[in-house]
Amino acid sequence: MSRTGRSLALLALPALAFAVWAVPLSAPSRAAATPQAEPRLTLQATLYQNDFLRRTVSLATGEYGLGIQDRKVVNVDSELDFGNYYPNMLLAGVQGSQVGRLYDLGTSDELAQRYGYQETGGGGQGFASIHFEGSQLVILADYATQTFQPFTEGARFYHSLPPSTSQPIGAQVGHIYLVLIHDLNDPTFERFAKLIVTAHTDDEQVTVAWEEILP
């Protein structure tokens, strides 16, 4: 679904390791251990408000969204912008006919408090747990038992109608966001991701980490 690799016109707004295990020969009746799933890739990028090449990023690849071709700046795949249109604001859906919005879930502790699960030291379990089980969006219920519960506010956001124009939101360190991008000219296109702001300097830069949420 990504447009990476395609050189488009300038931005138009509004328009890893393997687990190895062995079964001892002395215990042939012992069941082999179940291999763990390969860790999902979480991408990260630092966006610079005053850098004309590194102010946007592709959520599909983690590559910066702008480049230079034939002595001009061109769009490659700009899905998330920082500060170009709204100072110190994140803006999703900044190319062609795409529109995007972000939803602020608050900090890891605030999210855990709302859903009643206990975070581990350093946080991040709530963020990591957000995923689809079938068609249902879920979040952590209990870390020890690795059980999940319906993620109600996430589902409301995901199923809401696309806006007519992209909507900015302030970048706040430690806050978790949901990101949803649609293409008004392509009903099959959708980019849905969870994102966390890990660093932010006013009027300069923001560092974000994210992972796509796939149905």
Q: pLDDT tens digit string along 159-183?
A: 999 999 999 999 999 999 999 999 9
Chain segment 20-75, per-residue pLDDT in tens: 333 333 333 333 344 455 555 689 999 999 999 999 999 999 999 999 999 999 99
Q: Would 143 be classed as within a structural domain? A: yes
Q: Would 105 be classed as within a structural domain? A: yes
Spatial CB neighbours of 181, under 8 Å, sequence gap ≥ 6: 59, 79, 92, 93, 98, 99, 100, 189, 190, 191, 192
pLDDT at residue number 42: 87
SS3 content of the chain, % helix, strand, coil (to 5): 10, 40, 50
Above 70 in pLDDT, residue 4? no
Percent of the chain with pLDDT over 90: 80
Number of structural domains found in the chain: 1
Q: Would 23 be classed as within a structural domain? A: no
* Residue 127, H or E segment: helix 125-129
Instruction: Report the alpha-carbon distance of residue 40 to residue 5 in Å, rounded.
Output: 23
- Calculate mean pLDDT across residues 139-145: 97
Q: Would 170 be classed as within a structural domain? A: yes
- Calculate mean pLDDT across residues 130-146: 97
**CA proximity to 196, closest of 106, 132, 115, 116:** 106
Above 50 in pLDDT, residue 2? no
Name the one residue in this structure whose structure tokens are 């994140």.
90
- Calculate mean pLDDT across residues 150-158: 98
Instruction: Report the alpha-carbon distance of residue 10 to residue 67 in Å, rounded.
Output: 10
* CB burial of residue 106 (10 Å; 0-12, 13-18, 19+): middle
Longest distance between any two alpha carbons in the chain, whole Å: 69
- Calculate mean pLDDT across residues 118-128: 95
Q: Would 12 be classed as within a structural domain? A: no
Tally the C-alpha atoms within 13 A of residue 127's C-alpha that lie toward its C-beta: 28
Q: Would 22 be classed as within a structural domain? A: no
Instruction: Report the alpha-carbon distance of residue 55 to residue 101 in Å, rounded.
Output: 17
Q: Would 173 be classed as within a structural domain? A: yes
The whole-chain average pLDDT of the chain stands at 86
Q: Would 19 be classed as within a structural domain? A: no
pTM, entire model: 0.81
Domain carrying residue 75: 43-212
Above 60 in pLDDT, residue 108? yes
- Residue 203: Cβ within 10 Å count: 9
